[in-house]
Amino acid sequence: MELVGLGNALALFGGAIAVLLAGAGSAVGIGYAGRAAAGVLTEKPERYGINFIMVVLPGTQGFYGFLGGFLVIQNLALLDPQTVVALTWQQGLMILAACLPVGFGGLISAMHQGKVCAGGILMAAKRPEMAFKAGVVYAVMVEVYAVLGLLITIFMLNSVDWKAVQQAVAG
Q: Name the stretches of the chain with pLDDT < 50.
A: 1-3
The letter for the amino acid at 19 is: V
Q: How many domains does the chain have?
A: 1
pLDDT tens for 18-46 read 999 999 999 999 999 999 999 999 999 99
Q: What is the reported pTM?
A: 0.88
Per-chain mean pLDDT for the chain:
89
End-to-end CA distance of the chain: 13
pLDDT at 146: 95
User: Is residue 149 a contact partner of residue 67, using CB atoms and an 8 Å limit?
Assistant: no
- Please, what sign has the CA dihedral across residues 163, 164, 168, 171? positive
pLDDT at 4: 55
Q: Rounded to an integer, what distance in angstroms lies between the CA atom of residue 135 and that of residue 34?
A: 14
Can you give the CATH number for the domain in which 100 is found? 1.20.120.610
Helix/strand/coil percentages in the chain, nearest 5:
90, 0, 10
The domain containing residue 86 runs over which residues? 2-170
